[in-house]
Amino acid sequence: MKKVVLAYSGGLDTSCIIPWLKDRGYETIAFIADLGQGDDFKEIEKRAVKSGASKVYCLNLQKELIEDYAFKALKAGAVYENKYYLACALSRPLIAKHQVDIAKKEKAKGLVHGCTGKGNDQVRFETTYRLMAPKMEIIAPVRIWEFKTRDEEIDYLKTQSIKINVTKKSPYSIDTNIYGRAIECGILEDPWQEPPEDIYAMTSNPLKAPNKPTYVEIGFEKGIPIKIDGKAYKPVALIKKLNELAGKNGVGRVDMVENRLVGIKSREIYENPAGTVLNAARLELEALVLDRDTMYFKEQLSQKYAQLTYNGLWFTPLREQMDAYFDKVCKYMTGTVRLKLYKGSAQAVGRQSKYSRYQEQLATYGEGDQFDQSLAEGFNTLWAMPFQK
């Protein structure tokens, strides 16, 4: 039998894929990525075996997701279509990379994912597969198999005498990791409908959030957040702490219609408490330490970085080149931003840095003004000159 490695979530689709592949002469190794989605991984491992996997790998990739993916995107200021912090998009190349590593170690011949043909994730997985293991066969069963409904998949498992508890299907399709949560389908497919409250899991309803604001100080070093309220945190712990603080204040909800890579628009709801706070703080620190030209120029690259990430082009030369650029930009991104979290908003209310370019003696309208106003007349004269006739 040909050996393949499957990116296994434990859901009905990927559980069906295992016997479906066996019918076609494949032996499946299931790979489960723990990205902080909070599942019962022991249970999911058992489910993979019950479905017929010959071997199961479960790796905790949370640290790598935050350090090598999310923090790079943060330094780059990558926010897709100005709203989406890319939690799901960042996780796919990471999962695919480890899947390829396992496949090579196991001398497997193929890579399998459970994505549909309409989404971005298939592209993110397959582009990474193709770049890292160009010779391996790629199988996307959900795009080609005969099942049209969940019930047909459940019936199929019965015919294979596979007994796994299928949890009651929620009307939504949800993707979760420690950096954020994405929710689509069901009533959300009508872009006019306000999202019902029960779809949210990482953030409380801003209306029911505490009546007193939470102040939080985030310390950055070279663009990387390292402290909360003066206390040092490791990356994963920092994200968890911010998820908690922002989540309880209802911070981090996004409702958007986005342009998918495959050409359709989709309506997606995101919860990204930590990412929202971190990006608000980053923007504020940038405003303090970066010169004007750098700020305006980098903005264009931020957008490009977000598009590359969204479009599955993480492991490409341009993304790596841009990391070198953003490392340079972030050389002076050391300092602290104080934010006020209150009923859904994360507002910066203070900022400081040893690299601050803000000069109070030039800005002040009070005592100690050192701005030489006698220069202004000449400046104004020359500024308008090119346009005068």
Under the binding rule (CB under 6 A), the answer on residue 88 touching ligand ARG is: yes
Q: What number of CA atoms fall less than 13 Å from residue 325's CA on the CB side? A: 19
Q: Which of 54, 173, 345, 353 is catalytic?
A: 173
Least distance in Å: CB of 310 to ligand ARG? 6
Distance separating alpha carbons of residues 330 and 298, to the nearest angstrom: 11
Size of site (CB under 6 A) for ligand ARG: 10
Least distance in Å: CB of 184 to ligand ARG? 4
Least distance in Å: CB of 343 to ligand ARG? 26
Instruction: Please identify, among the stretches 54-62, 180-188, 218-226, 364-372, the one whose residues bind ligand ARG according to the rule CB under 6 A.
Output: 180-188
CB-count exposure of residue 296 (10 Å: 0-12, 13-18, 19+): exposed
Under the binding rule (CB under 6 A), the answer on residue 89 touching ligand ARG is: yes
Least distance in Å: CB of 181 to ligand ARG? 8
- For 80, the token pair is 């897709």
Nearer to ligand ARG (CB atom), residue 27 or residue 268: 268
Active site residue 327: no
Least distance in Å: CB of 91 to ligand ARG? 9
Under the binding rule (CB under 6 A), the answer on residue 182 touching ligand ARG is: yes
Instruction: Please identify, among the stretches 126-134, 177-185, 202-210, 341-349, the one whose residues bind ligand ARG according to the rule CB under 6 A.
Output: 177-185
Instruction: Please identify, among the stretches 11-19, 136-144, 182-190, 281-289, the one whose residues bind ligand ARG according to the rule CB under 6 A.
Output: 182-190
Is the distance from CB of 177 to CB of 36 less than 8 angstroms?
Answer: yes
In the window 91-150, what residues touch ligand ARG (CB under 6 A)? 120
Instruction: Please identify, among the stretches 159-167, 170-178, 232-240, 300-308, the one whose residues bind ligand ARG according to the rule CB under 6 A.
Output: 170-178
- Residue in 13, 153, 268, 284 binding ligand ARG, rule: CB under 6 A: 268
Least distance in Å: CB of 382 to ligand ARG? 49
Nearer to ligand ARG (CB atom), residue 174 or residue 283: 174
Least distance in Å: CB of 268 to ligand ARG? 5
Active site residue 173: yes
Q: Which of 121, 124, 181, 267 is catalytic?
A: 121
Under the binding rule (CB under 6 A), the answer on residue 256 touching ligand ARG is: no
Is the distance from CB of 239 to CB of 274 less than 8 angstroms?
Answer: yes
Q: Which of 9, 47, 91, 92 is catalytic?
A: 92
Under the binding rule (CB under 6 A), the answer on residue 174 touching ligand ARG is: yes
- Residue in 175, 271, 284, 286 binding ligand ARG, rule: CB under 6 A: 175
Instruction: Please identify, among the stretches 26-34, 169-177, 245-253, 343-351, the one whose residues bind ligand ARG according to the rule CB under 6 A.
Output: 169-177
Under the binding rule (CB under 6 A), the answer on residue 183 touching ligand ARG is: yes
Active site residue 121: yes
If DSSP states are collapsed to H, E and C, what string results for the chain?
Answer: CEEEEEECCCCHHHHHHHHHHHHCCEEEEEEEEECCCCCCHHHHHHHHHHCCCCEEEEEECHHHHHHHHHHHHHHHCCCECCCECCHHHHHHHHHHHHHHHHHHHCCCCEEECCCCCCCCHHHHHHHHHHHHCCCCEEECHHHHCCCCCHHHHHHHHHHCCCCCCCCCCCCCEEEEECCEEEEECHHHHCCCCCCCHHHCCCCCCHHHCCCCCEEEEEEEECCEEEEECCEECCHHHHHHHHHHHHHHCCCCEEEEEEECCCCCEEEEEEECHHHHHHHHHHHHHHHHHCCHHHHHHHHHHHHHHHHHHHCCCCCCHHHHHHHHHHHHHHHHCCEEEEEEEECCEEEEEEEECCCCCCCHHHHCCCCCCCCCHHHHHHHHHHHHHHHCC
- Please list the active-site residues: 13, 92, 121, 173
Task: Provide the binding-site residues for ligand ARG, judged by CB under 6 A.
Answer: 88-89, 120, 173-175, 182-184, 268
